[in-house]
Amino acid sequence: MKTITFLFTFFLTLNSFAFSPGTCSHLKEITKPGDILFISLEGHPFYSKIEKAMNFWSGHVGLVLSNDSGELYVSESTYPFSKDTDFCAFVNKAKQKVGVKRIAGRTLSETDLSMLKEATKSRLGYYYDLGFDYDSSKQFCSKFVYDVLLEALGIELGNIETFQEILDSHEDTQARDDARAFFELWFFRWAIPGIPNIPWERRTITPKSIYYDSKLQTIFSWKT
């Protein structure tokens, strides 16, 4: 009897964990094709520093789509190149620090979803832009999502900003100094003697800018 009770409790615990907020099982229940997934990669040597420099909890974003069998996957621009990623593999990297956004006031049609797929396919295999230059021929995660939504549905999400504007968004002096130090370190390898190495006027698009766009509604946020 004790064994049966233990096993019953064990399976209840597993089930509770599987469907706890932010896990893959939970997100599969509430996410639809066309949704945008924002994740934090806290502890990652690259993305965690990007999150601080960009003044936002999420450093990576991808677009949710589904295959012919209805299985969800995520189209993303990641290092070294843009690709389609298994839904759970994408979500599990976040350790439950996830946000799900959906286009507000619009139900996506099959035509809409087909156009999204075509727009992502044309961008797969592009190398990741470590300089985060919106005007380059390469990709990075937020540029990928921004361009796909704009091309496929004519929806512009977020604002294209300069690095200077991002730096100025830090209200706290210490946070601004830390962000400047990161940019100085990150862009050091492009430095030319006698010329400032940080491209402050370079245009870019961030996950934060897309996340807070009023044309999106929040389906889930790990902070709530």
Mean pLDDT of the chain: 88
- Percentage of the residues of the chain whose pLDDT score is greater than 90: 67
Domain span at 30: 2-221
**Number of separate domains in the chain:** 1
Residue range 182-192: mean pLDDT, rounded: 74
pLDDT of residue 191: 58
C-alpha span between 218 and 224 (Å, rounded): 10
Could you tell me the two tokens for 80?
């070294």
Instruction: Dump pLDDT digits (tens) for 47-80.
Output: 778 888 888 999 999 999 999 999 999 999 999 9
Q: With cut-offs at 50, 70 and 90, classify the pLDDT of residue 85.
A: very high
The contacts of residue 185 (CB under 8 Å, 6+ apart) are none
Residue pLDDT, tens place only, 2-48: 555 444 444 444 444 445 889 999 999 999 999 999 999 887 777 77
Identify the pLDDT of residue 60.
94
Give the closest residue to 162 by CA, choosing from 200, 115, 110: 200
Tokens of 20: 């706890």
SS3 2: helix
One-letter identity of residue 59? G
pLDDT on residue 192: 61
- Residue 104: what pLDDT? 97
The pLDDT of residue 183: 86
Q: How far is CA 93 from CA 60, 87, 126, 166, 185, in A?
A: 10, 10, 22, 26, 25
Q: Which amino acid is at 153?
A: L
pLDDT digits (tens, 9 = 90+) for 164-185: 999 998 888 988 888 888 888 8
CATH code of the domain in which 201 resides? 3.90.1720.10
